[in-house]
Amino acid sequence: MSDQQHPLYSRDREVLNKLIEEGLTDYNLAELARLKIRYNGFPGARDIQADLEKLLQKWQLNEAELYQKTRQLHASTRIYQVRSNKKEEEDWS
């Protein structure tokens, strides 16, 4: 079985590189969890999967702790802000 190329590989690689550079923040924790979920069981992107594991170790977390912390973050704050500009929206009424 050959490895597949994930369609979001390039964008995710950039995000992961930023996480490695910037370190642990609430936003970066949420991004790490998001990428872990995306690449869980994916047959490819082995470098991303390995770097995700290294980052977990660097931040001294296991996967269960990561998800617990991000669930708490999402419950208490808006980690991801919706980028909506009312002026740019089309009005079909």
Judged against a pLDDT cut of 80, whether residue 90 lies above it is answered with: no
In a domain, 1, yes or no: no
Does residue 14 belong to any structural domain of this protein? yes
- Report the candidate in 31, 80, 79 with the shortest Cα–Cα distance to residue 55: 31
pLDDT tens for 15-72 read: 999 999 999 999 999 999 999 999 999 999 999 999 999 999 999 999 999 999 999 9
pLDDT at 76: 93
Judged against a pLDDT cut of 60, whether residue 87 lies above it is answered with: no
Residue 85 lies in a domain: no
| Domain annotation covers residue 57 | yes
Q: Establish if 43 belongs to a structural domain.
A: yes
Q: What percent of the chain has pLDDT over 90?
A: 78
Within a domain: 35:
yes
CA 58, 18, 8, 47 dihedral sign is negative
Q: Torsion angle, CA of 78/66/48/9, rounded to 10 degrees?
A: -30
Whole-structure pTM over 0.85, yes or no? no
User: What is the extent of the structural domain holding 49?
Assistant: 9-78
Residue 60 inside a domain? The answer is yes
Secondary structure letter of residue 44 according to DSSP: B
Neighbours of 33 (CB within 10 A): 23
Assign 2 a pLDDT band (cuts: 50, 70, 90).
confident
Number of domains into which the chain is organized: 1
